[in-house]
Every structure is written in C-alpha cells, then in structure tokens.
Structure 1
C-alpha cells in the first residue's frame, strides 16, 4: 500500500516532531491544529530543529527548505484529512478528545485511509470502535524527540487488519525507524514498564528516602540510564505521566499503578515539568 500524503492532527511537541519526520523523508504533510497561533509555534519549532540538523550536517540547507515546503497548515480536520493516505492523531492524552477527533476523521477521510493514534496508553480498540472502520485503525506511538528516537511502538487493536499493520510497519521503516509490533493493553509495552518505574522514583522522593538529584544519579550511574526518572518525567510532562498511570490503574484494576500523591499534587499545582518551567527541576 503506497502512502504519499500524511495528515498530522495536533501540532504540539509530538505532533510537530511527527510532521517534521514525515516531511524530512519526502512525504507531503498536512499539519492540523485548532488555530493559526498553534501552527505558527509548531512551524517555528520545526524550523529550529531543522537548523540543528543542518548545524550537525545531518541535512543540507536545500534539504531543510525542501522539508519545510512539504508542510501545509490547516485549522480544519475535514479539509486537512480529505485526501490523505494516513492520518496520525497526536492530540492530548484524553479519551473523549481522541474519540471526537476520530469520529470526525472517519467521516471526512477516504475509505482507504489508515487512521493512526500516537497515544501512549489509551486503548486503540476503544478508539477504533468509534470509527466504523476498525480494521484500518492502529497505534503509532513515536518517542520524543521524534526526529531523533528510533523506536515506534505499533499497536494492533482487536480488529486491526494484517494489511494495515504491514503497511504501517513498512512505512515506519521508510522513516528510518525501528517499528515494534505490540498488542493493545493499557500502557502497551513502553509505558507499562516505564511509568511504574517513574512512579516508584516519585514515591522514593515522597517517602524521604533520597533527594531528586540522588535518585536520578543512582539510576544514571547505577543502571546506565541516559536520564534519571525524575528528569525524564519532567520532559515527558508530569500531567502526561499522571494520565497514563490513571489509564493503567483503571484498565488493569490494580492498585500497583496508583499514582503517587506527590505527583497528583504537583500536577494540581501546575508544576508539570519543562513545559511549565518547573517540575522536579527548575527550567
């Protein structure tokens, strides 16, 4: 299955990274968000990230210009997905929002269009049930920063077809990624393992076992992690970590996924990490 034109819904950190990557590898990309201000910020970010690639000799100035030329902006889902081969939703980690988006996409996109979600924990099967084309719905969970990180979790919903899975696996490889096929259960693989570790690190701080720097240093030097779990949580977004833990707690019905009270309080206080300027560290 040939895919040449891609729509990316959501132009935040993940969305602009996904759009950047597809455009860099030669795909026409429709980048969709609710207003021009969000799209302006996204395109500015993409431009800066392309400049970094040029500075590192990963791309030439000509390739940067070609990449930017492949990006088209839309503030309407209906218009942005009408004639594309693949839609990648990269909106906030909120089930009702995703269901609303997928209903609109299913009503506007071609019958042959594959519908993918970049969700990090929400059920692909549940999303697919809202579309009327469950065989063509799949998860493409990119890692941040998207242009750099190689992994893409490819999540098969209960009704995702072999044809859809094969097409998305092959497409991911064309982006220079390493796709890993997983089944649709809360947190998939990456976050089912990562989030309990982050949550336990927060509990270790909450219970006074050690400080932020000490916890992160133990994991960096003792476990060879490139970044400590508390710093990583700041980069992911503490609100995102909390949302994923709640999805897993609800999905499995297990208290072992219950978020640490410190994490809950920090999110309520607006201390969500890098994006707010403060989390476990100040930025």
Structure 2
C-alpha cells in the first residue's frame, strides 16, 4: 500500500478495509495470484473484491462536511499493451460503514505483460462546509492500494484475429499467418498478430476453444504453436540485432523472442542456433518441432 503525503488532511488507513482481489475460475472464485500460468489473449479476466469504508470517520478525519460525497475507483493498466482503463467507480454518500463490491471483467485481447490494479478512495464532492486544510478538489485521493498480476503461459502471448483471407493478400486457403514487426524494441502487444483464416473451420474452432479445447482442437493448437514458434525463432535469427548481449525493454518483441528461444533451446547459444539455421534450415525446422513437442498433448 502507498501512504500519501498530500497538501491536505487525509484519514488514517484504518478507515478502509479491503479484501484481497478474487478471480473467477470456472464456477468458483480464488484469490488472485501474483502470476497467472497458461494465460493467453483469448482468456478474459474477471475480478472482484469487497471494500468496507467507514464514511463517518473518513469525513471527520479528512475535515469534510457531512454532505460530502466520496468515490471508490479502480483503474487497470497493462504493461504489455500500454493500455489503461477504468474498472469500476462507485459514489459513496450516506453514513456509517458501507461495503462496496468492485467487480469487472477485462478483455484478454487488451492485456499482456503485467496487469496493474489500483484502487483509490477519492473525494467526489467536498460538500458545503469543509474545515481548514480539508481536500477541496474533486479527485483528491484519501486512500489507495496497488496489486499486480503477471500474465504468462505456454500459448502465444499476443492477439489473435479471425479474418477472411480471400479479402487479403494472403493465400485464400492458408490456415493462419503470423504478422511480426522487425523492430525488436516495440511492444509485443502491438507488434505481433496471429491471423486465422475464417474459411478454415478446424483452425477457427481451435483458437475459439483454446481455454477448453477438445481433442481435435489440441492437435490443431499444437500445429499452430509449432509453426508460430518456428516463424518467431527464424525471424529472430535473421535479425542482426538479436544476440546474447542484447538488452531489450520489458514486454518488447525482442524480450518475447529471447524468452521463446531460451525456452526452446536452453543452453544453446544464439550464435550456434544462427549457424544451424543458415547451414541446415530443414533440420532446424525439425529441431523446432522437437523442442515444442509437436502433437504431445495432454
């Protein structure tokens, strides 16, 4: 929790009692972890928490009038997509201790990297008779806390879109196509996009059922993972800026590629991988299949 030192009176932290964030998982709710394994961009995230606010003590200790109005607000930020948005805002009038439920669902396609959650109790209206040194501006923060959730998993960590390839320059009967930026320092979220051809029913069904895949979906997803991994690794090895000493920004294309290469070929230098790809490209493709364990589905 962050303790503020603003130029106005604030109440003690004890006026707010906040439960831990809960996450919807199938038919139940579990405490939000610090890391979410096996997450992908097709998976939305539903969150909720209860927060109890002692309205009378908050007004008294902050010097606000009895007709002042408070607001409990939550905001989310995604480091992978550089997006930010409101979770929920609830105005608090009346008296006594009030329990407020903060609940919202975030679209997976808008997320990536680390999800930051900030909850704040702010002044919506100072009322008609605030005391000296009381907060007088709407939006003045009286209390806040921060929580984070690292999103990671084995699935491709970038958006997926289903389109009609017949209306593009891609081969009309191809099943999918990976778009990837040459700028290794650009954000992964805006630089990688897996396009799935809506004309290919098995591929569309597989990505739509990725959260709960059928046996046939698992086989298609295994093929997509192998092909996408090969394209990404080969893309990295063709870029001269991709090497052992490179230092890429967090959640960038370069960091994503570096992580993927490290997972698929642990202990193998990038120099050796580049030589293997240049001298024996067909064997290298088979090496990627072996590394991703093609068709080894649970």
Shorter-chain TM-score bucket reads under 0.3
The higher radius of gyration belongs to: 2
Higher relative contact order (CA 8 A, sep 6+): 2
Instruction: Normalising by structure 1, report the TM-score.
Output: 0.25
- Give the helix-richer structure, 1 or 2: 1
